[in-house]
Structure 1
Amino acid sequence: MKENKYDNSDFFSQYSQMSRSVEGLKGAGEWHVLQKMLPDFAGKRVLDLGCGFGWHCVYAIEHGATHVTGIDISKKMLEEARKRNPSPFIEYQCMAIEDFDFQPDTYDIVISSLTFHYLESFTDICRKINNCLTPGGTFVFSVEHPVFTAYGNQEWHYDQDGKPIHWPVDRYFTEGRRTAIFLGEEVVKYHKTLTTYINGLLQTGFEICELIEPQPDERLLDTIPGMKDELRRPMMLLISAKKKK
């Protein structure tokens, strides 16, 4: 994940104009589902991997968490997080997830939003997260769906009039590096199958509690361009798991 496009000024400017950047959690198409999957934060210590603007961090504090550590590789992201979502109970740290020191039994809850498809190994990060969670601790995350990442460029196939015909799915079982076009830039992501996500959890000491392929929030279908097309194929995968006691 150590590629960092978000500190590129043009890229960051475009990202800052996205609905989820402007409106926060309510502007994220999956939030109406993810919110229901989150555990009780009261009295808990929370780690947010790939925290971005800090929306999930401050949500955890507002719902009773005693301390949140937010990790992100982007200085620009964290500058915005400190402006938009400051709290004496949130500690923002600028580093790659791979470089974070996952100390044993440090957190009760680990959350991550749309980050792990930037990491080459899902099993490695699961093992580290399991180590830093207390027994029975909760791990909730979202990733881009394997159907979305398989082909690579993450673009619809269009007809001659520019209307999307279908979403290409190819090389599904060939995991690894993909070059996607996101906000006009080439971005490196790592495709993983659904099997890899499930077994990565099961083989590192987690019990899976819930798995959802969310549909967009209905209220966003008419307000965000292209959102209705998200009903034609899954874009995200949400999973909730617990560390075995």
Structure 2
Amino acid sequence: MDKNSVFKTNVIGAGEVGSAISVDMDKNSVYKTNSFYWDTKGNDFLGAISLPLYGAFVSEEKCHLFGDVSGKKMLEIGCGNGQSLQYQGERKASELWAMDISEKQIEKASQHLKACGLSAKLICSPMEEECGIPVDYFDFVYSIYAIGWTTDLEGTFCRIASYLKKDGVFIFRSHPIHKCVVAENDRLAFKKNYFDESWYSVSLDEGALTLSDRKLSTYVNALAKAGLVIEQMIEQSDDEIISRDDNSEFSKKAKMLPVTFVVKARKL
């Protein structure tokens, strides 16, 4: 992992990206703002947030949450430019499906997979909406960076549960704690209320994003309501990956608290 990869992961996590402005949550406005960002500037930041990495300092190669996916039907929520789909396809998954809110990312994913000799069913849609994905069909549904951006977490988890076969697995990562904290002189300082789940807008790189930070309990309770039971949760950072970093503020923080968590849940 190079210097820029760590920085880009932090940006996607909406870490120290400048001033945040509180906004009222309007679903259509959120869709418009965030899809425009991914259609334009967002593509520059996707390299650091695709499998086998779960964003910052957590790797599938160390955690083995998926296990053997050969012959399995896979659905990715928020596929970006298709690199995680490539990873699953090269591990012999039988079917690749994905959705993304950005038409540009769907186009890039299609081109990327074609160049890799892989095919996938790609759908441009918000994750909250009905978009023709089959129910009771998939062995795995996963999301590397998109779940935290849904405007309706409970509704999204219920949709994901409906896509899965019985005993199917949902794997996702998010980051409810690290955006509240900054590293200052080898100490951590809270800059934001962890309990505040209100929506806010941030400006970066001539673009803008609209986001909300949810508590860990919000994710856990939404999983339970959707009939998904947690089997495993990863929150520790990988020391080997951190050691490749250049001692950035982000890596210093990762040594002291979780900068991401990854959940593996199963449909009852």
* TM-score, normalised by the number of residues in structure 2: 0.73
The answer as to 2:141 corresponding to 1:118 is no
Candidates 176, 192, 196, aligned match of 1:146: 176
The answer as to 2:251 corresponding to 1:228 is yes
**Aligned partner letter, 1:54:** G
1:142-196 Cα offsets, whole Å, 9 max, x none, are: 11x21124x4xxx8366xxxx6753425322232313345557442112111111
Candidates 158, 167, 170, aligned match of 2:192: 170
Tell me, yes or no, if the aligned pair for 2:81 and 2:105 is still in contact at 8 Å. Answer: yes
**CA 164–76 in structure 1, closer or farther in 2 if over 3 Å, else same:** farther
Q: CA deviation at 1:30?
A: 2.0
* TM-score, normalised by the number of residues in structure 1: 0.80
Residue 146 of structure 1: SS of its match in structure 2? coil
| 1:6 paired residue number | 38
Candidates 23, 30, 33, aligned match of 2:58: 30
The answer as to 2:268 corresponding to 1:240 is no
| Matched residue count | 230
**CA 42–33 in structure 1, closer or farther in 2 if over 3 Å, else same:** closer
1:86-144 Cα offsets, whole Å, 9 max, x none, are: 3443222222222333432121210101111111222111111111111111111111x
| 2:9 paired residue number | none
Tell me, yes or no, if the aligned pair for 2:182 and 2:191 is still in contact at 8 Å. Answer: no
Q: CA deviation at 1:32?
A: 4.2
| 1:156 paired residue number | 182
**CA 47–32 in structure 1, closer or farther in 2 if over 3 Å, else same:** closer
What RMSD in Å do the two structures reach over aligned CA positions? 2.9
CA distance in 2, matches of 1:175, 1:55: 30
Q: CA deviation at 1:197?
A: 0.8
| Structure 2: gaps of 5 or more residues | 1-29
| 2:164 paired residue number | 133
| 1:108 paired residue number | 139
